[in-house]
Amino acid sequence: MKIVVLDGYTENPGDLSWEGLAQLGELTVHDRISYSESPEIAEAIGSAEIAVTNKTPLSAATMDRCPNLKMIAVLATGYNVVDCAYAKKKGILVANVPTYGTQIVGQYAVGLLLEICSHYQHHSDTVKAGRWQNSTDWCYWDFPMIELSGKTAGVIGLGRIGQTTARILKAMDMRVLAYDTFQSDAGRALAEYTELDVLLAESDVIFLHCPLFPETEGIINAANIAKMKDGVIIINNSRGQLVVEQDLADALNSGKVYAAGVDVVSTEPIREDNPLLSAKNCLITPHISWAAQAARQRIMDITAENIRAFQAGAPVNIVNL
């Protein structure tokens, strides 16, 4: 069985091994294939039965050009790069990796918040530039130092990652509100479930941990921002399309939103005309919440198991049944 990895470099820039996949078939690994619709994607898949992708799109047109394709394995939890409905029509199974990054993504979300609250890197840079040793004062700070204890955090999406974030926030003595259409006892142990408008109105910090669905696309928009407290902080390391970026930029520039920390944007890699690039108090990182080696190893291991289960006739983690 032929297996083709379309964009392997991000998952494995050299510190992991593809051996687990190589044991399952004739493996070809491409470091990079187009991240937009292109004939080269179908050319790279060729006669393979299994295509492995992270962010290279698998469209209906591409699937039509790959008559041997039987499975698409996504090296991620999100699978919106695949036309899953069309894959189902073609009898192509789509598998994802649902739980590899729970801890690191929650950790990263809180890390973005802590950097906003204390500006560690900025102050370290000024010390190394000689400012402290030449200061007439015992210490200095260039931004307000924000204490989180006693403040309210709102988590939109209280699944596995949202619960990890909530657990860390509770350890910092924050009140945690949550909005999620699916409520659980595990969630109730960590947060107070509430309506979205209540969360927006009462939160000092808002975290986005929800999937990208039609009902969540653009959930951070001008109308919802207007319902928030003045000076709110917004953290998004879920999906860029959850945010109407011009609306968030306008709110940052007006001061309605004090700061934002985002690890995701609507088009990735980021475009030079993205309004968040020039917005005030906007911390942007290049979609790396998931990228700890331990998390990427779990992606590799679970993807191999997804393919092994498919070959055995008992597929797992299928998202388009």
Contact 237, 109 (CB under 8 A): yes
Neighbours of 141 (CB within 10 A): 11
Q: Per the structure block, which two tokens stand in for 111?
A: 């890390």
Q: How many whole angstroms separate alpha carbon 30 and alpha carbon 228?
A: 45
- Cis? peptide before 269, omega within 30° of 0: yes
Q: Per the structure block, which two tokens stand in for 132?
A: 């402290």
* Dihedral of alpha carbons 309, 297, 318, 99, sign: positive
Contact 123, 142 (CB under 8 A): yes
Strand pairing category for 2-5 and 50-53:
parallel
Q: How many helical (H) and strand (E) elements, i.e. helices and strands, does the chain have? A: 12, 12
List, by residue number, the catalytic residues.
239, 268, 287
* Dihedral of alpha carbons 98, 102, 106, 112, sign: negative
Q: How many whole angstroms separate alpha carbon 265 and alpha carbon 274?
A: 8
Q: How many whole angstroms separate alpha carbon 96 and alpha carbon 101?
A: 13
With 0-12 CB in 10 A as exposed, 13-18 as middle and 19+ as buried, what is 254?
A: exposed
Q: How many whole angstroms separate alpha carbon 195 and alpha carbon 242?
A: 18
